[in-house]
Amino acid sequence: MSKKTIDKIVDYLKVEGPTTAKLLAEQFSLTTMGVRQHLQGLEEEGMLVFEDRKASRGRPTRYWSLTEKSYSLFPDRHDDLTSQLIESVKVVFGDSGLEQLISHREEASKALYQRELASHSSLLEKLHALARLRTTEGYVATVEQEEEHFWLLENHCPICAAARHCVNFCRSELQLFQWLFDDLATVSREEHIIEGARRCAYKVVPLSQD
């Protein structure tokens, strides 16, 4: 079993969501039989599950998706240590101390993102630049365009442990994006990993349609 092929399959499922063996075969120029072997191997390891969906004609179509166990295949920020540190900050410095910590992180991110986005002029260019930055941080971020708005999609959360212990980390993320695009677009979070979604989805609506 090719490790490289498995990585491609896992990455594709992470970004695109539930997918069929046929589509994966077309995507990576493989035989459907070969892809099924990879999928079944990942299922045996507990990394995948499948769902048979009713088709308009013929037999149901099988869709494969990642399980929570697959999260270990993606970048991690030492969840246990992060959780302990957050609790320690609360105990030693109180809630106000934790707020200061979050604000400091937000300001550092603001400076970095603003500097990197400054060289791009259009909203779409800035979104792609932000997605690249977020991907290097472990968020597996992509950008999609619809007729009148864009989506910034984050398919992994490397700070889930921190966010579960303190939802203000997630509040900070949304406020940061809103601040970055304040003069160009409105930003709202429509899907949230912490609330059970498979990804965080930010809807970005340009202020001007010109």
Return mean pLDDT, the chain. Answer: 86
Other CB atoms closer than 10 Å to residue 105's CB: what's the count?
A: 16
Q: What is the DSSP string of 144-176?
A: EE-SS-EEEEE---TTHHHHHH-THHHHHHHHH
Q: Which fold has domain 3-73?
A: Arc Repressor Mutant, subunit A (1.10.10)
Type and span of the H or E element at 48: strand 48-53
Q: Which helix H or strand E contains 206, and what residues bound it? A: strand 200-206
What does the pLDDT average to over 125-136?
95
pLDDT score, position 165: 53
Is residue 200 within 8 A of residue 189, CB to CB? The reply is yes
pLDDT score recorded for residue 1: 45
Confidence band for 88, pLDDT divided at 50, 70 and 90? confident
164-186 mean pLDDT: 81
Residues forming beta bridges with residue 191, ordered by sequence position? 201
- Mapped onto helix, strand or coil, the DSSP state of residue 47 is coil
| pLDDT at 66 > cutoff 60 | yes
User: pLDDT category, 210, cuts 50, 70, 90?
Assistant: very low
Higher confidence at residue 135 or residue 102? 135
Parts of the chain belonging to CATH 3.30.1380: 79-206
H or E stretch including 201?
strand 200-206
Q: pLDDT value at position 95?
A: 77
The end-to-end CA distance of the chain, in Å, is 51
State residue 97's pLDDT score: 76
CATH class of 79-206: alpha beta
Which of 108-128 are b and which e, b meaning 16 or more Cβ less than 10 Å from the residue's Cβ? ebeeebeeebeeeeebeebbb
Per-residue pLDDT tens over the stretch 70-85 = 887 876 555 565 666 6
More confident residue, 73 or 129: 129
Tens digits of residue pLDDT in 177-209: 999 999 999 999 999 887 888 888 999 999 975
Residue 4's pLDDT band (cuts 50, 70, 90): confident
> What is the token pair recorded at 109?
């991110």
pLDDT exceeding 90 applies to what percent of the chain? 55
Range(s) of the chain covered by CATH 1.10.10.10: 3-73
**Residues 45, 210: Cα–Cα separation, whole Å:** 51
Predicted local distance difference test score (pLDDT) of residue 78? 55
